[in-house]
Chain A
Amino acid sequence: MAETMKLEIFRYHPEKDNEPTFQTYEVPFLEDWVILDAINYIKDEIDGTLSYRWSCQMGVCGSCGMMINGVPKLSCAVFLKDYYPDKIRVEPLTGFPVERDLIFQMDDFMTKLTEIQPYIIRNKDEEKPLDEGEYLQTPAELARFKPYSMCINCMLCYAACPVYALDSTFIGPAAIALGQRYNMDSRDHGRDARQELIASHEGIWECTFVGECSAVCPKDVDPAAAIQRAKVSSTIDWFKDVLIPWGKKK
């Protein structure tokens, strides 16, 4: 083995261990290896008991999110050479209960994702028959929500969010950004249905605009901007309700 590098990996097996420990592995250092390659090497060649999630190895599936030296990153998108020759510390994404080693429980996020209703909702009487074709959209209408549609549900934004870390009732960056993605879609009529959750205290109002969600997002979704925009539109709703109470009742 020519050059090597050390990875210090979080290990925890709740049924056996009282508390988490760190285990250090020495792996070959290759210029073109990402951290996930090194972890796969450990699993295949050194220690088959190491557990972690991964799939596509190309930043699309969103399953290999880990804390790399304390920063949430997709382990398939960070190169060993950016850390060489220092030791790299690998932990599961923070803010979630640990299932085993680098695998965390994502149930809370999955529930929130469902609650935000991230799909196109049409008014019943405005659904046109299939033979009339698709709902057309201008490039400008597409551009309004397209960045928010790039989310791969990797949950790095939740691991980066200090608000979610303190209080997990917060709906959180990705779910709100996805809600906003459908709210801003010209084909969608579901804003009122989503608004009850988005405009609640646990929705956008817990956010203190730290902005780390957008800083760590591997897909440049900018959830922080989505939340601020939702704050503006919810505030306009609120003033309309208070100042024009005879207007449209929700």
Chain B
Amino acid sequence: MAKSNEPIWWSLFSAGGMVAAMILPVLIIITGILVPFGLVDDDPLNFERIYTALSQSYLIKLILFIVITLPLFHWAHRFRFTLVDVGLKSVSTLISILCYGGAIAGTIIAAIIFLRI
């Protein structure tokens, strides 16, 4: 029986799940509730301010990169299995290429944007 290459996708999927479960809710509260409803002073999401902070810190870039890219792989893996399970098993290779390809493309785009800042 052939050795499976699933571990690479599964580990990215589970790491993405961890990020989605633990960090994204915090970001949703900050960027989706606290700031828009004016519950915090001092305009924390001011563009200039964020841009300057990002351009000066590789650590912030790295954290944002992880927070953006790992959930992409989480989506890719889950969406792939969902499509296969609803009956698209005959085109499962194409689905894998599109899902993981999409996540890889998103990762490359995120990397390029962060490197340019």
Contact = CB atoms under 8 A, between A and B. Distances in A.
B7 A238 contact: yes
A238 B8 contact: yes
Contacts of B8: 238
Interface centre among B3, B10, B11, B85 (most CB of A within 10 A): B3
Given A200-B1, A231-B10, 8 more contacts: A163-B85, A166-B85, A167-B89, A200-B2, A200-B3, A200-B4, A202-B1, A239-B11
Contact of A201 (B4, B14, B85): B4
Nearest to A166: B85
Interface in B1-19: 1-8, 10-11, 14
9 contacts: A163-B85, A197-B1, A199-B3, A201-B4, A202-B1, A205-B4, A231-B14, A234-B7, A235-B10
A208 B1 contact: no
Interface string A208-224: 10000000000000000
Q: Which secondary structure dominates chain A's binding surface?
A: helix
A199 B4 contact: yes
Nearest to A232: B14
Interface of B: 1-8, 10-11, 14, 81, 85, 89
A202 B6 CA distance: 11
B6 A201 contact: yes
A109 B4 CA distance: 22
A208 B8 CA distance: 15
A111 to B, nearest CB: 14
Interface residues of A, number: 19
Q: Which secondary structure dominates chain B's binding surface?
A: helix
Interface string A117-161: 000000000000000000000000000000000000000000000
Contacts of A44: none
A38 B81 CA distance: 41
A197 B2 CA distance: 9
A196 B4 contact: no
Contacts of B7: 231, 234-235, 237-239
Given A162-B85, A208-B81, A208-B85, A196 B1 contact: yes
A238 B6 CA distance: 9
Nearest to B85: A166
A80 B5 CA distance: 48
A189 to B, nearest CB: 20
A170 to B, nearest CB: 12
Nearest to B3: A199
Nearest to B2: A200
Contacts of A202: 1
A219 B99 CA distance: 38
Nearest to B82: A208
Contacts of A200: 1-4
Contacts of B6: 201, 205
B98 to A, nearest CB: 18
Contacts of B10: 205, 231, 235
B20 to A, nearest CB: 14
